[in-house]
Amino acid sequence: MSPAVRPSWSDLPEALREALTHRLGPIHHAAVQSGGFTPGVAARLSTGHGRISRAFVKAIGADHVLAPKYRAEAAIAGQLPAGTPAPRLRWSGEVDGWVVLIFDDVNGRHPDLAPGSADVPVTVAGVAGLAATLTPSPADVAASPQVRGALLHGWGELLRRGAAGDPAAGLGLWERDRLSTLADLEGVWVPYAAGPSLVHGDIRPDNLLIRDTDDTDDTLMVVDWAQPSIGAPWQDVVDLIPHMIMAGHTPPDAEKALLGVPAWHDLPDLVVTSYAAAYAGYWTRASRLPAPPGVPHLRAYQAHAARAALAWTQARLVN
């Protein structure tokens, strides 16, 4: 089930399609992509012998509430240094009331993070390797403790609601009994997020592509740089854990997949536990909000993610 409802190529305003044709050349084929969490355009375009033979185009209405994220992504993508495993941004701007980004198209697939998948070590190594080209940060953006610290939380808010008379309906017995403890725990990681690297901040399988190559070594590409910050690179690596749990790993086995990654080994245990609790709180809080326009399945996804992060938190607090 796709979390977003995206327009087809024929649904786009004629002026936008004409502008893309003018910039890219005659478009022979448009394959709309269904993944992601925004209701904007996401299409792989083939132009045959145009100026760019294949391109990936993202676009959203300039007045949409999510348009700032598209502008942020364009700003960051244009500053990524050579060697960063990310598609090259060819052009960005506003066309007929739409924010438009044109990238090189990448032949690839999203990684399978299930237990036993050969994609797991490729993905871990690729994400861990981001710091090599992104330290120091090539972009001047806000610091991780401020940006991500303000986002990744939830238990404290749920605790305050309970104090105001809301019994936090829908929470499980385990988290209800430990709500105060989780609220205290979820902020411990924040100071440890400080660092010199550009942090992607939204590592999940649909933002990763394993390229189709003839080489023996697969190459991981990272897309959608709309939530950047400057901080410690362990954040992007550790963000893989709840997604591996969602794919079927037990929490201990998901953590074992990071063995050998220095950014993982250097973290104090309490920081990891706090980070797990913060994600569980964030997804629990977010899953209880109304669905944003055009993204009807997002809250169900977040509820699933919350269960994975909660299982991770429980496993760490038991040990």
Q: Return the pLDDT at 202.
A: 96
Same domain, 314 and 175: yes
Residue 170 lies in a domain: yes
Same domain, 177 and 278: yes
Q: Return the pLDDT at 152.
A: 97
User: The domain that contains 63 carries what CATH number?
Assistant: 3.30.200.20
Q: Return the pLDDT at 40.
A: 81
Residue 27 lies in a domain: yes
Q: Which domain holds residue 81?
A: 9-105
**Final residue in a domain of this structure, among 78, 105, 132:** 105
Could you report the per-residue pLDDT of 188-202, keeping only the tens digit for each? 999 999 999 999 999
Same domain, 244 and 162: yes
Instruction: Give the separation between CA 211 and CA 315, rounded to whole angstroms.
Output: 34
Go through 43-52 and write b for each residue having 16 or more CB atoms within 10 A of its CB, e for each that does not. Answer: bbbbbeebeb
Same domain, 101 and 121: no
Same domain, 166 and 309: yes
Residue 33 lies in a domain: yes
Same domain, 162 and 273: yes
Residue 3 lies in a domain: no
Q: Return the pLDDT at 32.
A: 75
Same domain, 119 and 93: no
**Final residue in a domain of this structure, among 105, 138, 173:** 105
pTM to 2 decimal places = 0.91
Same domain, 98 and 118: no
Same domain, 286 and 226: yes
Structural domain total, the chain: 2
Ranges of residues in the chain with a pLDDT under 70 are 1-6, 33-37, 48-52, 162-169, 213-218, 319
Same domain, 217 and 184: yes
274 CB contacts (<8 Å, ≥6 apart)? Answer: 185, 186, 187, 188, 189
User: The domain that contains 176 carries what CATH number?
Assistant: 3.90.1200.10
Q: Return the pLDDT at 216.
A: 43
Q: Return the pLDDT at 117.
A: 97
DSSP track, the chain: --SS-PPPGGGS-HHHHHHHHHHH----EEEE---SSS-SEEEEEE-SSSSSSEEEEEEEETTSTTHHHHHHHHHHHTTPPTT-SSPPEEEEEEETTEEEEEEE---EE----STT-THHHHHHHHHHTTHHHHSS-SS---BHHHHTTTTS--HHHHHHHHHTT---TT--HHHHHTHHHHHHHTTTTGGGG--SEEE-----GGGEEEE--SSSS--EEE----S-EEE-THHHHHTHHHHHHHTT--HHHHHHTTTT-HHHHTS-HHHHHHHHHHHHHHHHHHHTSPPPTT-TTHHHHHHHHHHHHHHHHHHHHH-
Q: Return the pLDDT at 310.
A: 98
**Final residue in a domain of this structure, among 52, 82, 105:** 105
Residue 4 lies in a domain: no
Q: Return the pLDDT at 36.
A: 64
Could you report the per-residue pLDDT of 16-43, keeping only the tens digit for each? 888 888 888 888 888 876 666 677 888 8
Residue 163 lies in a domain: yes
Mean pLDDT of the chain: 89
Same domain, 126 and 100: no
Same domain, 177 and 239: yes
